[in-house]
Amino acid sequence: MSRPVVATLDSAALRHNLQVARKAAPHSRVWSVVKANAYGHGIARCWQALSDTDGFALLNLEEAVLLREQGWKKPILLLEGFFHADDLAIIDRYRLTTSIHSNWQIQALARAELSAPVDIYLKMNSGMNRLGFRPEQINAVWRKLRSLATVGEMTLMAHFAEAEKADGITAPLRLVEQAAEGLEAPRSLANSAATLWHPETHYNWVRPGIILYGASPSGQWCDIASSGLQPVMTLQSEIIGVQQLAAGDGVGYGYRYRASGEQRIGIVACGYADGYPRHAPTGTPVLVDGVLTQTIGAISMDMMMVDLTPCPQAGIGTSVELWGNQVKIDDVAQAAGTVGYELMCALAPRVPVNVI
């Protein structure tokens, strides 16, 4: 593709970030979360760099089958379980681990004809009120599942809504402990934030996601700056045009920016159709020729404008980092009123991807 926008994925950074997660939870096994096509990075591009993990956790059967067909033989966890009873045939064939969060799934398991018992993760609703059984139901549901011939190994699973906060796991963890009383239940509770900051939640398996890709679960880069985590994705482009503004000149759709005096600006080949956030305001950080500057005006479908005042040497063909090692994706997301997760997942199919 001749258009200069490109995403580069750093395999060494992926491997390194997995080791950071292991170091944070040295006594736990690791589910590397690769849902949403590895957070926009591409499962097929990433899984081998993460092959030292103990298992992969994801959502779609198609992604699980892809991993198996590419040679992954260790565990795969379906985080939302199966969506139709017929899915159990695929789970059986590919030896997948499935979460169980609803009574209809238990009934489907009871009726299923499988070649071998299926390992399950019993999902508890610890207060987030998405999927899962309420704490007072867990004991009875656990025992019911344990009685089924189609059920193999069982693990208790929960999720935290506020693990990025110092006291964010206190109440839900107490509920888990109460619900699991009297059960011989291995546990998997810790997401990225809990893996980094709440060792009391680690138990048997941790489930790091966003930190594997080098962004912060809190949305604040400063929270992980000392962790050793490294950005995996770098989005780069080039300046394809230069304009010289006079005082009062408007820039872009809606003239959301007007020059207060003479100003030189660059036009960059990247826009919201490439996955850059459309609502990023004037002032969003961007790196031009190694110099930190800012966007100005509205983000267009295919282009954006940047201030060249701090980098007068820049011109057509000058390199631009939209996010990556120098411009943290969390900082771009914060400026745009979103989170790094969304920006990663929004990378458009038309953007070529290089893996190093």
Q: Which of 209, 223, 231, 234 lies closest to 21, judged by CA?
A: 209
Number of helices (H), then strands (E), belonging to the chain: the values are 11, 18
| Angle, vertex CA 41, rays to CA 40 and CA 47, nearest 5 | 125
Collapsed DSSP state (helix, strand, coil) of residue 132? coil
Residue 29 marked ligand-binding = no
Q: Which two tokens stand for residue 163?
A: 């693990």
Is residue 321 within 8 Å of residue 338, measured between CB atoms? no
Neighbours of 85 (CB within 10 A): 14
Cα–Cα distance for residue pair 319/268, rounded to 1 Å: 9
3-state secondary structure 153-177: EEEEECCCCCCCCCCCCHHHHHHHH
Q: Which residues are catalytic?
A: 35, 253
CA distance 170 to 194: 11
Q: Which helix (H) or strand (E) holds 293?
A: strand 291-296
Are the C-beta atoms of 332 and 235 separated by less than 8 Å? no
Residues with Cβ within 8 Å of 40's Cβ and at least 6 positions away in sequence, in order, are 233, 275, 344, 345, 346, 347
C-alpha triplet 88, 33, 192: angle, nearest 5°: 135
130 known member of a binding site: yes
Question: Which DSSP letter does residue 117 get?
Answer: P
Query: Would you list which residues are annotated within the binding site for substrate?
Result: 130, 301
Q: Binding site: what residues are annotated?
A: 130, 301
